[in-house]
Amino acid sequence: MQQFYLSYLSKNDTEIHFDKNESKHLSKVLRKKVGDSITITNGIGYRFSATLSHVNHKACTAIINQCVEISPDPYQLHVFIAPTKSNDRMDWFVEKATEIGVHEITPIICQRNDRKVIKQERLQKIAIAAMKQSLGTFLPIIHPACDFTKSLDKVKGIACIAHCQDTSKIVIDRLLIKDKSISIFIGPEGDFTPEEIQAAVDANITAVTLGEKRLRTETAGIIACHSISLLYP
């Protein structure tokens, strides 16, 4: 089953009008015909079942047969992550985190960052593609890049930071979850600086460990997403 994404759809809509690009994809690439069934999400928790009523490479139309509201995750995860030097590795993180279940991603600019310019629109498109491919119905928000220190003021609920310094840390899967919202900070390949770690401590952010091995930034981000998803029944 292939899923489409149309952000403007509401639960009260009865008909869908696809733009030129989606219409061409439906008619020329997927070779859909009148009467074929399709599935669409609006990215905020609704899945629509529809039947194509008009197929043309410039304009396709579908009649909505059913609208189902999908229950949201029992948690809201916001990952603050330092951009990787390679665009491909950051793309991979966004794709896989979306498939696992992340709700917000903020690239953070740290002192040891390899890259400081982030293409927010590109990452949002990757998140859309991953949501569609995995048949998800909630689209993660990709925020603009933010300075690490300023990002400390954006956390909600429980907040933790994963770093490699030899300090007291909690194993991530032993966190005591008392809040629906959780934020986690993942640093650059060279780790957070001692000053950044101290700033997190001053902001009452809990230090956690993701295990004994040294991980790449994007790998650490994925492990964090998966570990946190398992903390909520």
Judge if 14 and 85 occupy the same domain.
no
Number of folded domains in the chain? 2
| 132 Cβ contact list (under 8 Å, min separation 6) | 2, 3, 4, 5, 41
What is the crossing angle of helices 87-100 and 217-231, to 10°? 10
Judge if 86 and 61 occupy the same domain.
no
Task: Answer left, alpha or beta for residue 27, where phi above 0 means left and psi between -120 and 50 means alpha.
Answer: alpha
pLDDT tens profile 126-176: 999 999 999 999 999 999 999 999 999 999 889 999 998 888 898 988 877
Judge if 113 and 54 occupy the same domain.
no
Give the pLDDT confidence score for residue 161 in this predicted structure.
96
Judge if 120 and 225 occupy the same domain.
yes
User: pLDDT below 50 — which residues of the chain?
Assistant: none
Determine the longest span between alpha carbons in the chain, in angstroms: 63
pTM, rounded to two decimals: 0.92
C-alpha torsion sign, points 168, 173, 174, 176: positive
Judge if 168 and 221 occupy the same domain.
yes
Give the pLDDT confidence score for residue 51 in this predicted structure.
96
Question: Phi and psi (nearest 5°) for 77?
Answer: -105, 125
Q: Residue 46 is part of which domain span?
A: 3-69
pLDDT tens profile 213-225: 889 999 999 999 9
- Of 99, 229, 104, 211, give the one whose Cα is nearest residue 162: 211
The CATH number covering residue 166 comes to 3.40.1280.10
Give the pLDDT confidence score for residue 148 in this predicted structure.
96
